[in-house]
Chain A
Amino acid sequence: MKKISLKKLITTGIILATAALTLTACGSSSKSSSASSSNNTSSVAAIKKRGTIKVAVFGDLKPYGWVNKDGKRVGYDVTLARRIAKDLGVKIKFVQVNADSRVDALSSNKVDLVLANFTVTSDRKQVVDFANPYMKVSVGVVSPKNALITSADQLKNKTVIVSKGTTAETYFTQKQKSVKLLKFDSKTQQFNALKNKRGVALADDNTYLYAWAKTHPTYQVGIKQLGQSSSIAPAVKKGNKSLLKWTNNEINKLNKQGFFKRAYNSDLRPYFSSDVKPADVIIEK
Chain B
Amino acid sequence: MGHLGTNILFAGNNFQRLLGGLWTTIWIALLSLIIGLILGTILGMLRTLKNRPLRIVLRLYLEFFRIIPTVVLLFLAYYILPRQLNLNLPADQVAVLVFALWVAAEFSDIVRGALISVPQHQRESGLAIGLNHWQLFRYVLLPQALTLELPATINLATRVVKTTSLLMLISVMDVINIGQQIIEANGQTHPNGIFLIYGVIFFFYFIVDYSLSLLAKKVDIAKQH
Interface residues of chain A, those whose CB is within 8 Å of chain B, are 6, 9-10, 13-14, 17, 24-25, 28-29, 32-33, 59-62, 66-71, 95-98, 101, 104-105, 107-110, 188, 211-212, 214-215, 271
Closest to B183 in A: A60
A-B contact pairs, 24 of them (CB 8 A): A24-B84, A25-B76, A33-B83, A59-B177, A59-B180, A59-B184, A62-B187, A66-B181, A69-B11, A69-B182, A70-B12, A71-B16, A71-B17, A96-B177, A101-B171, A105-B79, A105-B171, A108-B80, A108-B82, A109-B82, A110-B78, A110-B171, A214-B188, A271-B188
Decide if the interface of chain B is mainly helix, strand, loop or mixed.
Answer: helix
Decide yes or no: A71 and B184 within 8 Å by CB, A97-B171, A101-B169, A110-B82 being known contacts: no
Residues of B within 8 A of A211 (CB): 188
Is the C-beta of B191 less than 8 angstroms from some C-beta in chain A? yes
Complex CA gap A98/B75 in Å reads 13
B129-171 CB contacts (< 8 Å) to partner A: 168-171
B14 touches A69 (CB 8 A): yes
Residues A66 and B184 in contact, CB atoms below 8 Å apart: yes
Other than A14-B64, A28-B80, A109-B83, give 7 A-B pairs with Cβ distance below 8 A.
Answer: A9-B56, A62-B187, A101-B169, A101-B170, A104-B79, A108-B80, A215-B188
Please, what's the 1-or-0 string for B181-215, where 1 marks a CB less than 8 Å from any CB in chain A? 11111011101000000000000000000000000
Cβ distance A217 to chain B, nearest Cβ, rounded Å: 12
Question: A215 contacts which chain B residues (CB < 8 A)?
Answer: 188-189
Of B60, B180, B187, which one neighbours A17 at CB under 8 angstroms?
A: B60
Contact A17 B79 (CB under 8 A): no
Can you list, as one digit per residue, whether each of B32-43 has a CB less than 8 Å from chain A (1) or not (0)? Answer: 000000000000
B80 x A68 contact (CB < 8 A): no
Q: In the assembled complex, which residues on chain A have CB atoms less than 8 Å from the CB atom of B171?
A: 95-97, 101, 105, 110
> Are the C-beta atoms of B59 and A68 separated by less than 8 Å?
no
Question: In the complex, what residues of A have CB within 8 A of residue B56's CB?
Answer: 6, 9-10, 13
Complex Cα distance, B79 from A142, in Å, reads 39
B59, B78, B82, B181: most-surrounded residue (chain A CB, <10 A): B181
Q: Contact: A67 with B185, CB < 8 Å?
A: yes
Residues of A within 8 A of B189 (CB): 215
Q: Are B79 and A108 in contact (CB under 8 A)?
A: yes
Take A108-B79, A212-B188 as given contacts and tell me if A25 and B60 are in contact as well, using a CB distance cutoff of 8 Å. Answer: no
Contact in complex: A29, B83 (CB < 8 Å): yes
Q: B88, A109: Cβ atoms under 8 Å?
A: yes
Take A13-B56, A96-B173 as given contacts and tell me if A61 and B184 are in contact as well, using a CB distance cutoff of 8 Å: yes
Judge whether B51 is part of the interface by a CB distance below 8 angstroms: no
Question: How distant is the Cα of A60 from the Cα of B168 in the complex, in angstroms?
Answer: 12
**Would you call B120 an interface residue if the criterion is a C-beta within 8 Å of the partner chain's C-beta atoms?**
no
Report the separation of the CA atoms of residues A66 and B84 in the bound assembly, to the nearest whole angstrom. Answer: 32
Q: In the complex, what distance in Å separates the CA atom of A33 from the CA atom of B83?
A: 8
Q: How far in angstroms is the closest Cβ of chain B from A93? A: 11
Residues of A within 8 A of B82 (CB): 108-110
**Are A32's CB and B11's CB within 8 A?**
no
Residue contact B12 to A13, C-beta cutoff 8 Å: no
Known contacts A59-B180, A66-B181, A96-B173: does B60 contact A14 (CB below 8 Å)? Answer: yes
Residues in A with CB closer than 8 Å to B191 are 188
Nearest-neighbour CB distance to chain A for B50, whole angstroms, equals: 14
Q: Check B83 against A108 for contact (C-beta < 8 Å).
A: yes
**Given the complex, which residues of B lie within 8 Å of A60, measured CB to CB?**
180-181, 183-185
Q: Please name all residues of chain A whose beta carbon is closer than 8 Å to the beta carbon of B182 when the two chains form the complex.
A: 67, 69
Contact mask B8-38 → A, CB, 8 Å, 1/0? 0001111011000000000000000000000
A97 to B76, CA, bound (A): 16
**C-alpha gap A32/B170 in the complex (Å):** 21
B63 at the interface (CB under 8 A from A): yes
Assess the A107–B83 pair: CB atoms within 8 A: yes
Residue of A nearest to B11 (CB): A69
Residue of B nearest to A71 (CB): B17
